[in-house]
Structure 1
Amino acid sequence: MDTLTGLLDGPKARGAFLLRSILTPPWSLRIEDRAPLSVVTMVRGDAWILPERGTPLLLHPGDVAIVRGPEPYTVADDPDTPVDVIVGPGQVCTKGGVDVSEVMSLGVRTWGQGREGDRASSVVLSGTYQAEHEIGQRLLGCLPALLVRPAGTGADDTLVHLLAAEIGRNEPGQELVLDRILDLLVVSVLRSWLAAPDSGAPAWYRAQHDQVVGPVLRLMHDDPATAWTVAELAQRVGVSRAGLARRFTALVGEPPMAYLAGWRLAVAADLLREPECTVAFAARKVGYSNAFALSAAFKRVRGVSPQEHRRLAATGSQPQAAGFSGPAETVILAG
């Protein structure tokens, strides 16, 4: 498994919340649902996306914005438009403290206060991953707070049109179809981001192209359960132990064994988000001798036990994992 596949294997929507909003200006939606990841794209009209911390950004039709949670953000026709509707946990929409989720329904996965044929109305598509285990902490930890891919700069334009066409349909298996389209759209945008020069992608991802460090990273990612040593890894790629240690540290930012330890815990953290995964099973999968050894390492590095980690992940209140944090600023992909 290459490092790109290992990273992008995360998005697996399961009953994601997808919605087409038809909104007549002035309008402003405050999103406080604490979702781990959301996608926003315009079908008609422009909209401003205002992160909780950061510079407001104008979205044009076809632009795709990926917003990393759980911090709130606002989508509006103008940065100065007062918030009209608040979208809370469970996608409950309130206006003046009153639940308007049903009142503003316009049909299948369609909502708002505009009219279908009104060209003055904005049409917004949104997709929300509602649980962190659908994304994976390894990926979330790498992402900027706001990532935007302008229209016409990637192959995912086709996916935006497909999502727009499918979101209002009510066919058998439609939820699964929409989940997979959302996954493909997210992966396509993230792949463009990771490949872009100076994108802020993590150092270990950029290092995969190195002829020495790249193969070592693939060995670690492909089989974290193996009892790797620097000497064995160096032998596999045909360099000296000291040479590998120096080169790996220079490119990745930490020594090989420190990186491997962090990677093992990141994989374990993702595994433990699955209710059926035991601590003992996760330990075996990532190279710890038993559940006690994994628990001790988990507590030492992350500050919580595996059980507490599972509870926090379920409530969406888990802090970001150390060692896999990404840029906090807005990133706009160039054409």
Structure 2
Amino acid sequence: MDVLTDVLAAAKIGGVLTSHLRADAPWGFRLDQVPFAAFHAVTRGECWLRRPDAEPLRLVAGDIVLLPMGGGHALASDPSGPLVSYDDILKASGASMPGAYVELAGAGPRTRLICGAYPYEDSVAHPVLAVLPPVLHLPADRSREHGALSATLEMLAAELDGGRPGARTVVDRLVDVLFVHIVREWLDSHAEQRASWLAALRDPPIATAISHLHGDPGRAWTVDELALTAGLSRAAFARRFTALVGEAPLAYLTRWRMGLAAQRLRTTGEPVAVIARSVGYASEFAFSRAFSRCHGMPPGRYRSTHRPATPE
């Protein structure tokens, strides 16, 4: 069971290219409180990432930054110059997202940027994104050391420049792949950090227990049974799981069940009672209460709110 893939799918973390920029200094734009994870990759030149209450971060060709929880930020040719709204830039250029190609004319050095977004269902994505720092900066030298990450970025840039048939599909897939490589690289370089859900996946006993939970979420698991799968005593397992994952085993199971239920409500027409049973609830009423506590609304309203509109 690939637990990370499982969570990315349930959280509906899917990347989309938002823009491909060619900017000649001086330039600067701000993105106001984006409600998704965002990434920016510099393929030529250099620029500055600017955030409220943080020192500007210089980025050079080959650098990648991921902002896991989004938030307001800016990119500019210098660390302190004026900024304009990116929405205004799009309107002025006549471009539209996703995938806008934007040129910012100036007399100074040229920078090229690839920018993208990763929308997600917050309650399910939490274990992946909440454990990452507000800004995950992968300098060019680290990207090159992580060969797959550097190769993915090169292929992404080549597809954007090539104009070949099917490029849109290839770009979208590569943006997804880029996210996984970024998370992998961060996990590999922070293996010493033990108190996070991602670090738990590197701990064989706890990773085994999590894999069992994901593989059979409808089972009436007990802490004793999970401890047995991990090869630990009940007390040792409960302490270790909570320390690594950040919540108790059965609390994690409940949140995972609610994430799976939300995914099925969004993507299938199955009756609520069927979905309830699939995630371990014999009573539709008990399931509805648990779902409402997690998602802030009952299953029926969640489905009507989140299902895509049916074409007439």
Q: TM-score, normalised by structure 2?
A: 0.80
Counterpart of 2:212, as a letter, is: L
Q: Which residue of 1 aligns with 2:258?
A: 265
Matches within 5 A, 1:173-212: 173-197=166-190, 203-212=196-205
**1: distance between equivalents of 2:306 and 2:73?**
21
Q: Which residue of 2 aligns with 1:160?
A: 153
Q: Which residue of 2 aligns with 1:32?
A: 32
Q: Which residue of 2 aligns with 1:225?
A: 218
Please tell me whether the aligned partners of residues 191 and 199 of structure 2 are also in contact (alpha carbons under 8 angstroms): no
Counterpart of 2:215, as a letter, is: D
Measured after TM superposition, the shift of residue 70 of structure 1 is 4.5
Measured after TM superposition, the shift of residue 132 of structure 1 is 2.7
The match for 1:300 among 284, 288, 293 is 293
Counterpart of 1:158, as a letter, is: A
Measured after TM superposition, the shift of residue 289 of structure 1 is 2.4
Query: Structure 1's 206 and 132: CA in aligned 2 closer, same or farther, altered over 3 A?
Result: closer
Please tell me whether the aligned partners of residues 44 and 122 of structure 1 are also in contact (alpha carbons under 8 angstroms): yes
Q: Which residue of 1 aligns with 2:88?
A: 94
Q: Which residue of 1 aligns with 2:102?
A: 111
- Could you give the per-residue CA deviations for residues 129-186 of structure 1, whole angstroms, max 9, x where no partner exists? 4x43599624344443321111131221111111111113433322111011111111
Please tell me whether the aligned partners of residues 279 and 306 of structure 1 are also in contact (alpha carbons under 8 angstroms): yes
Counterpart of 1:114, as a letter, is: A
Q: Which residue of 2 aligns with 1:256?
A: 249
Query: Structure 1's 236 and 277: CA in aligned 2 closer, same or farther, altered over 3 A?
Result: same
Counterpart of 1:149, as a letter, is: L
Query: Structure 1's 23 and 239: CA in aligned 2 closer, same or farther, altered over 3 A?
Result: closer
**2: distance between equivalents of 1:199 and 1:237?**
21
Identity %: 33
| Higher RCO, Cα 8 Å, sep 6+ | 1
Q: Which runs of 5+ in 2 are unaligned?
A: 308-312
**1: distance between equivalents of 2:192 and 2:21?**
31
Q: Secondary structure at the match of 1:212?
A: helix
Query: Structure 1's 28 and 230: CA in aligned 2 closer, same or farther, altered over 3 A?
Result: same
Q: Which residue of 1 aligns with 2:134?
A: 145
Matches within 5 A, 1:70-85: 70-84=70-84
Q: Which residue of 2 aligns with 1:122?
A: 111
**1: distance between equivalents of 2:261 and 2:110?**
46
Is 1:216 the counterpart of 2:205? The answer is no
Q: Which runs of 5+ in 1 are unaligned?
A: 88-92, 315-335
- Could you give the per-residue CA deviations for residues 281-325 of structure 1, whole angstroms, max 9, x where no partner exists? 5423422225432220122345443455567778xxxxxxxxxxx
Please tell me whether the aligned partners of residues 195 and 246 of structure 2 are also in contact (alpha carbons under 8 angstroms): no
